[in-house]
């Protein structure tokens, strides 16, 4: 039950070879951590897996379909319906309330306002964030904001959540809370998580760690 599969993916930015043949399989509901030094190609691999960056070579398959075979429009649509995203700095929309931020992906998927708000409220409650619905991101703590970002990533019931250094801007206690929340909520929903981190403590929340180095993936077992 491989859900997402990158095979020998290559990507260059001008003279910089960001990916030089990276391969990865993600099973449904599996939490995979991409580890490795800065500049190794982790974010580029995440972006290729998520259909945000088009590889120069190799293939990315999601649910059996080659992402390169989809139109831009179909890829965008797939990202909205099947994928969720958490970034290092929550990237909440500052003008919107926390509830509006969580409801936004549903609105973008055509869910009506009242229904979207209802689901957003339930999502916040599930993540123990009741009470901050009406606050703007600038009015909550960094840890709360990042938990709101987790709520926003999960509200559409995605099959894969992509998280790029989701705890990078947090202290270790808040970082652990966010990882606990993200992995527990994802496992409850049988959503896979592809996580980029350089912190072993964060990667410890995964089922499997994959090392990226010089644009190539290697299993941690093999590296040991
Ligand atoms: P990591 O996430 O492991 O730090 P990245 O995937 O961000 O690595 O970057 C891999 C390499 O590709 C680096 O040398 C980086 O500078 C380069 N790179 C990444 N994105 C771009 C871009 N949009 N334009 C130019 N170079 C890029
Ligand atoms: P960008 O400015 O990167 O093009 P978008 O126009 O795609 O951003 O989205 C506007 C805001 O909505 C961004 O802050 C983005 O983080 C947020 N957002 C939340 N969920 C989604 C989603 N499922 N699809 C697109 N944008 C989303």
Q: How many angstroms is it from 80 CA to the middle of ligand 2?
A: 10
pLDDT of residue 169: 87
The residue to which tokens 């929309």 are assigned? 93
Distance CA 55, CA 35 (A): 20
Any ligand 1 atom below 6 A from CB of 38: yes
Closest residue by CA, ligand 2 atom 1: 91
Q: How many angstroms is it from 54 CA to the middle of ligand 1?
A: 14
Q: Which residues line ligand 2 (CB under 6 A)?
A: 80, 91, 93, 104-105, 108, 152
Q: How many angstroms is it from 221 CA to the middle of ligand 2?
A: 37
Q: Are 40 and 30 in contact (CB under 8 A)?
A: no
Q: How much is the ipTM here?
A: 0.71
Residue among 99, 95, 105 nearest 161 (CA):
105
DSSP state, residue 139: G
What is the number of the ligand 2 atom nearest to the C-alpha of 87?
A: 16
pLDDT of residue 205: 96
Task: Among 108, 158, 161, name the best residue to mutate to test ligand 2's pocket (greatest count of ligand atoms within 8 A of Cβ).
Answer: 108
Q: Give the ligand whose atoms come closest to the C-alpha of residue 82.
A: 2
Residue among 92, 168, 170 nearest 135 (CA):
92
The residue to which tokens 């509200």 are assigned? 155
DSSP state, residue 135: S
Task: Among 9, 11, 18, 55, name the best residue to mutate to test ligand 1's pocket (greatest count of ligand atoms within 8 A of Cβ).
Answer: 18
Closest residue by CA, ligand 1 atom 16: 39
Distance CA 38, CA 199 (A): 11
Any ligand 1 atom below 6 A from CB of 215: no
Residue among 85, 82, 80, 81 nearest 166 (CA):
85
The residue to which tokens 């909205």 are assigned? 80
Give the C-alpha distances (Å, rounded to integers) separating 223 from 36, 145, 216: 11, 36, 12
Give, for all 224 residues of the chain, the pLDDT tens digit. 899 999 999 999 999 999 999 999 999 999 999 999 999 999 999 999 999 999 999 999 999 999 999 999 999 999 999 999 998 877 899 999 999 999 999 999 999 999 999 999 999 999 999 999 999 999 999 999 999 999 999 999 999 999 999 999 899 999 999 999 999 999 999 999 999 998 999 999 999 999 999 999 986 544 43
Give the C-alpha distances (Å, rounded to integers) separating 81 from 22, 146, 151, 183, 207: 26, 21, 15, 20, 24
Distance CA 199, CA 2 (A): 26
Residue among 24, 30, 71 nearest 48 (CA):
24
pLDDT of residue 219: 66
Q: What is the pLDDT of residues 145-187, one digit of tens each?
A: 999 999 999 999 999 999 999 999 899 999 999 999 999 999 9
Q: Are 80 and 162 in contact (CB under 8 A)?
A: no
pLDDT of residue 220: 56
pLDDT of residue 107: 97
Distance CA 148, CA 154 (A): 10
Phi-psi region of 3 (alpha: psi -120 to 50; beta: other; left: phi over 0): alpha
Q: How many angstroms is it from 162 CA to the middle of ligand 2?
A: 14
Closest residue by CA, ligand 1 atom 7: 43
């Amino acid at each position: 039950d491989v859900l997402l599969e990158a095979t020998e993916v290559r990507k260059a930015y001008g003279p910089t070879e960001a990916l030089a043949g990276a391969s990865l399989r993600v099973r449904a509901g599996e939490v995979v951590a991409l580890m490795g030094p800065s500049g190794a190609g982790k974010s580029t691999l995440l972006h290729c897996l998520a259909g945000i960056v088009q590889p120069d070579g190799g293939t990315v398959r999601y649910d059996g379909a080659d992402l390169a075979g989809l139109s831009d429009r179909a890829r965008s649509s797939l990202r909205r319906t099947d994928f969720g995203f958490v970034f290092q700095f929550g990237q909440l929309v500052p003008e919107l309330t926390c509830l509006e931020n969580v409801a936004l992906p549903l609105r973008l998927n055509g869910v009506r306002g009242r229904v979207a708000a209802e689901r957003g409220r339930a999502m916040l409650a599930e993540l123990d964030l009741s009470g901050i619905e009406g606050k703007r991101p600038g009015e909550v703590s960094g840890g709360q904001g990042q938990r709101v970002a987790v709520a926003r990533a999960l509200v559409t019931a995605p099959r894969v959540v992509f998280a790029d250094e989701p705890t990078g801007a947090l202290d270790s206690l808040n970082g652990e809370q966010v990882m606990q929340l993200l992995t527990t909520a994802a496992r409850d929903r049988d959503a896979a998580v592809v996580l980029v981190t350089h912190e072993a403590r964060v990667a410890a929340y995964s089922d499997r760690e994959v090392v990226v180095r010089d644009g190539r993936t290697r299993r941690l077992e093999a590296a040991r």
